A = this chain, B = another copy of it.
């Protein structure tokens, strides 16, 4: 039931458990949209709680999640997906009946299972995933525009409450996002290819480069503008969050990884046997995918992500 003004959010009190990049971005976005909405934070790390007090001085911040969820209309679990079960257990008895519990994790089937096990029928459990982020992490990394023009996938399961789903949809839309609803299993397969496999590959190649004996680390960094540097951004993402993603989406990741490995072997063979036509054909068809992404507003159309203008000022010219 929507209780607030047309410009406000459908919740008067939002609890955010976990103060990483997404949790704090959510808090900033809520603050910008509705200064009246009460925010209640919990984080296991006392230092993070201190930072939260600094960033959101008018809000509750505590190390005790049970305290943070008290009277909240919406409880957002913004912790690594492997921690959702434990945190749900800690707060289950303290969540207000009729409240909605959701999350922001990159895996939905295991999270949905963990939340359903913990909460009774008087709480609306709707898992969610904003497909947004950056390579930074921690409470100071968040920013209010994080979800603008980004997709949020909700996986309400089978016996969801329609009003609760409508309110959660409205909430995300008012933070600038586009909302889609799908099955948790399908979400996990889609994200395995659009997010999890790209991260696994980026982590792998950055490690491979770092391990080479014949090429120095300095050389890897100096000549990284040939393509490698792009992978290092993704491979700078939060290690614990990503460990949990792979442990919790094992099946789908192994499935798309198998397909990728097959394709890579085929291209490897084309290189070995100097099959130029096969290589050129493969390389020519991938341009269209990028064009589609740019048209959907999911990436900038600027050359080189617009980094050209962001290049550091070079040393004075003519220096011999």
Whether A226 pairs with B131 at a CB distance below 8 angstroms is yes
**Complex interface: stretch among A54-62, A110-118, A309-317:** A309-317
Of A82, A148, A286, most buried by chain B (CB within 10 Å of CB) is A286
Mostly, the A contact residues are: helix
CB distance from A161 to the nearest CB of B (A): 17
Contact of A226 among B133, B229, B233 (CB under 8 A): B133
Whether A226 pairs with B287 at a CB distance below 8 angstroms is no
Whether B285 pairs with A210 at a CB distance below 8 angstroms is yes
Contact of A290 among B190, B235, B268, B299 (CB under 8 A): B235
Whether A226 pairs with B195 at a CB distance below 8 angstroms is yes
Interface membership of A33, Cβ < 8 A: yes
Contact of A208 among B151, B256, B320 (CB under 8 A): B256
Interface membership of A37, Cβ < 8 A: no
**Bound CA–CA A27/B74 (angstroms):** 59
**Complex interface: stretch among A64-72, A85-93, A272-280:** A272-280
Given contacts A203-B267, A268-B257, contact A298 B246 (CB under 8 A): no
Contacts A200-B271, A210-B285, A217-B289 known; 15 new A-B pairs at CB < 8 A: A135-B290, A176-B317, A189-B214, A190-B219, A193-B228, A198-B205, A207-B285, A210-B286, A212-B259, A221-B298, A229-B293, A230-B230, A236-B287, A244-B276, A254-B271
Seen from chain A, the residues whose Cβ lies within 8 Å of a Cβ on chain B are 6-7, 33, 82, 106, 131-136, 141, 143, 145, 148-151, 153, 169-170, 173-174, 176, 180, 189-191, 193-212, 214-215, 217, 219-237, 239-240, 242-244, 246-247, 250, 253-254, 256-257, 259-261, 263-264, 267-268, 271-272, 274, 276, 279-280, 282-287, 289-293, 296-300, 302-308, 310-315, 317-320
